Structure 1
Amino acid sequence: MSRFKVLRWLTRFAPPRVAVKWRERLRAGFGALFGIAVTGAVAHRMLGSDPGVPYLIAPMGASAVLLFGVGASPLAQPWSIIGGNLVSATVGVTAAMWIADPIPAAAVAIGVAICAMFTLRCVHPPSGAVALTAVLGGPAVHALGYEFVVAPVALQSFLLLGSALVYHAATGHRYPHAARPAKTVGPVSPQAGFSRADLEAVLRDRDELLDIDTDDLETILRDAEIHAYARSFGELTCADVMSRNVVSITPATTVGEARTLLKRHDVKALPVVDAQRHVKGIVTRADLADDGHERHALRLLLYAIARALRPHADAGQHVATLMTTHVLTVTATTPIVELVRIFAGRGHHHVPVVDSERRLAGIITQADLISGLYQQAQTPQRTAA
């Protein structure tokens, strides 16, 4: 084998770049510090009177790496650590009792523990060390017998898990892990990409455990499709497709005036802005129709009460009583692929566009989006011609 081939073979051992930011790395490190400190302190307080029971066993360090550093892994979830450690401890104690020679006892303990964890869906790599500790822990551990499963294994496992739950919640991190929803734009046709059934079939064909949740894997692949879709449309942004001459109103505009503007300009929605043109709401034709009054009955009732208390108030009803106040906006630099997700996945029909100072700069309708996508799709054909 040539030197070049040897070097190329050795480069395969180089680890990939870590995509985790330094803030998350430090959060994981401090989390493990917190978890081990709490686990050791509490266990020592509860078991300190019994010198035969270790208040910290080595596998807890490996579990801390998973719980605090790789919390999204299926191997780090609550059932994995509790089930895996208890099953492996039981198997290890049994193997030590039945097999006198520690080497075959250790081998049997690990092999049976792995099979049991797969069967019970609680695979947790540090649990292999728990099984070994039960076999090779020495006279003090052997003297505990099955008490080893309860203390220290079960006690420390629950303490470490509790510490992880508290720490993740305090630092705003999701644990137990739940997959983020994919940025899909609706049901994906067979021609447009893969289905969940396709993904599950491929995973079955691989016949091996991947250290990633299936939902996470699907989300990542869906988001990759979105990125690929965005790349196919180049640099097209909201500024390229939005309508710039926006007819807007203020919260003090009356319902009658708003209806007149909708008809005069033949539009279906009016952004509501303040004096600095910051978007405060939006009013649609449905809001100003009779059925819109019914949908906003509570606000109308409150307005009627205010009118009764203030008989000299303006005669016209203001759109502030009917407008939708939670308005989704986008910036002029937002890629149009994000609009596809918004229009298809959230049921929006009109999206105001704001500038860098959050002032109204335009509005995008479904017709604007379709027109922009069509024009962009025709661009390569015209260039090729």
Structure 2
Amino acid sequence: MPNTGGPELHVGKLQKFRLFRPILAGATLRERVIACLGALAGITLTGLICGWFFGEGPHIPLIVAPMGASAVLIFAVPASPLAQPWPVIGGNTISAFMGVLAAHFIPDPVIAIGVGVSLAIAAMSLTRSLHPPGGAAALTALIGGPAVTSAGFLFPLFPVGLNSVILVVLGIGFHKLSRRNYPHRAVAAPVNTHGTADRPAPLRVGFQAEDVDAALEALDETLDIDRADLDRLLRQVELQALVRARGTLTCAEVMSRDVITLGLDGSAEKARHLLITHNIRTLPVIDGAGRLAGTIGLRELTLQGAVGLRAVMSEARTAGPDEPVIGLVNALTDGRTHAVVVVAEDRRVLGIITQTDLLATLTRLLSDKTFAPSDPVAPQAA
């Protein structure tokens, strides 16, 4: 019987093909397809628009080569700090200016290209516009040929600056259509909503900001990720580890099913009456088809006054019935959310999980007691 190599050979083959796997965390086939389509639209339209401005001819390039690298960042890794609008526009333009400056004052081309790229990195660092294609923009200003040389100090603005602005504008439009976040905005860290000096509840336990800083210092490497995103990633890792360890209990097993709701055409007075009568903090608001439209609490009613529900209700925090209840820890400890509404795919209200429900569940889980689906669960609580 021939020797097929067994598990060791299989692992070896997998290791060889690791070179062909995406090297970016979170990269998926869908994301790469979107990046390709974005680059196609962005680069093509940038060239067409610049051609309309300048006219086609050898006197000046319609689009410079560094825009290809900028397109990779804008469309393939839009969350990168290096791909944001100011680094793209400022980094390319400032770097091109450094290249023109080096070419103007240094006659030796070999020395000029080294000095130009070096100045570009320094200038981008000082102006917080670090953008890798900026190095190519500086080189283009130095070795771009007669068309670039004749443009002189206008080259950083036309076409480099104009190319960059157009590409960024197109990137913003494309990502908006594809429902992606660009320019990237990091999710705000939890804040204390009670007006006291204490840290928000999620930040009082686990690792602290200084721990992240110390880890970065110990690694002694520059990472291509926003500091706030890194903090959020690590906290999500903590939550995923908790879900993996204690995540067998689903929202459907814990939720209160007899949910007190109010129709969208109801009044603020009726909402206040239901909240006080049933001693609850969060009241789901449903539309005529029984789908969740939002939530309302005494705080919203107090701040806004007795007006229509549409003006005062907040966006609901939701979860699916099959999601692990442990995954609601972040939502129910953010200082603002008192309950998570469990909904079906069509947003029909199936149940609700309050902070009290979560606390009771965690107490049972952490004490290692068996929690059967038939066990009684606290009603929709305050």
Aligned residues: 346
Deviation at 1:64, TM superposition (A): 1.1
Report if the CA contact (8 A) 2:332-2:338 is conserved. yes
Deviation at 1:102, TM superposition (A): 2.0
Corresponding position of 1:103:
110
Report if the CA contact (8 A) 2:202-2:334 is conserved. no
> Which runs of no fewer than 5 residues in structure 1 stay unpaired?
1-6, 300-319
Corresponding position of 2:323:
334
Question: In structure 2, how many angstroms separate the alpha carbons of the residues matched to 1:281 and 1:133?
Answer: 54
CA 117–206 in structure 1, closer or farther in 2 if over 3 Å, else same: farther
Of the three residues 4, 14, 30, the one matched with 2:19 is 14
The amino acid of 2:128's aligned partner reads R
Can you list the C-alpha shifts for 1:162-202, whole angstroms capped at 9, x where unaligned? 22222222332221111134699943456x32122322343
Corresponding position of 1:82:
89
Deviation at 1:129, TM superposition (A): 0.9
Report if the CA contact (8 A) 1:59-1:130 is conserved. yes
Deviation at 1:344, TM superposition (A): 2.2
SS for the counterpart of 2:155 is helix
TM-score, normalised with respect to structure 1: 0.72
Please say if 1:379 is aligned against 2:372. Answer: no
Question: In structure 2, how many angstroms separate the alpha carbons of the residues matched to 1:98 and 1:153?
Answer: 21
Please say if 1:187 is aligned against 2:201. Answer: yes
Deviation at 1:345, TM superposition (A): 2.1
CA 146–229 in structure 1, closer or farther in 2 if over 3 Å, else same: same
Please say if 1:91 is aligned against 2:87. Answer: no
CA 324–13 in structure 1, closer or farther in 2 if over 3 Å, else same: closer
Alignment of 1:258-269 (within 5 A): 268=280
Question: In structure 2, how many angstroms separate the alpha carbons of the residues matched to 1:15 and 1:133?
Answer: 31
Report if the CA contact (8 A) 1:90-1:146 is conserved. yes
Q: Percent identity?
A: 38
Corresponding position of 2:155:
148
Of the three residues 225, 231, 237, the one matched with 2:244 is 231
Deviation at 1:329, TM superposition (A): 5.2
Report if the CA contact (8 A) 1:183-1:226 is conserved. no
Can you list the C-alpha shifts for 1:85-139, whole angstroms capped at 9, x where unaligned? 1221122112222333322221121122112211221111111111111111223
CA 12–124 in structure 1, closer or farther in 2 if over 3 Å, else same: farther
Deviation at 1:247, TM superposition (A): 7.3
Q: CA RMSD in A?
A: 4.3
Alignment of 1:273-284 (within 5 A): none
Report if the CA contact (8 A) 2:201-2:334 is conserved. no
CA 366–249 in structure 1, closer or farther in 2 if over 3 Å, else same: closer
Can you list the C-alpha shifts for 1:256-303, whole angstroms capped at 9, x where unaligned? 9x989x98xx8658888899987789898x79xxx989976335xxxx
Question: In structure 1, how many angstroms separate the alpha carbons of the residues matched to 2:261 and 2:151?
Answer: 78
Deviation at 1:230, TM superposition (A): 1.8
Report if the CA contact (8 A) 1:184-1:222 is conserved. no
The amino acid of 2:122's aligned partner reads C
Deviation at 1:208, TM superposition (A): 4.0
Of the three residues 296, 302, 306, the one matched with 1:297 is 306
Question: In structure 1, how many angstroms separate the alpha carbons of the residues matched to 2:107 and 2:38?
Answer: 40
Please say if 1:136 is aligned against 2:143. Answer: yes
CA 337–59 in structure 1, closer or farther in 2 if over 3 Å, else same: same
Question: In structure 1, how many angstroms separate the alpha carbons of the residues matched to 2:162 and 2:345?
Answer: 54
SS for the counterpart of 1:334 is coil
Alignment of 1:1-385 (within 5 A): 14=19, 16-17=21-22, 19-48=26-55, 51-181=58-188, 186-188=200-202, 192-243=205-256, 246=258, 268=280, 297-299=306-308, 330-345=319-334, 347-349=336-338, 353=342, 362-379=351-368
Deviation at 1:341, TM superposition (A): 2.9
The amino acid of 2:176's aligned partner reads A
Report if the CA contact (8 A) 1:88-1:127 is conserved. yes
Question: In structure 1, how many angstroms separate the alpha carbons of the residues matched to 2:295 and 2:177?
Answer: 37
The amino acid of 2:177's aligned partner reads A
CA 113–162 in structure 1, closer or farther in 2 if over 3 Å, else same: same
Deviation at 1:357, TM superposition (A): 7.8
> Which shows bigger deviation, 329-338 or 149-158?
329-338
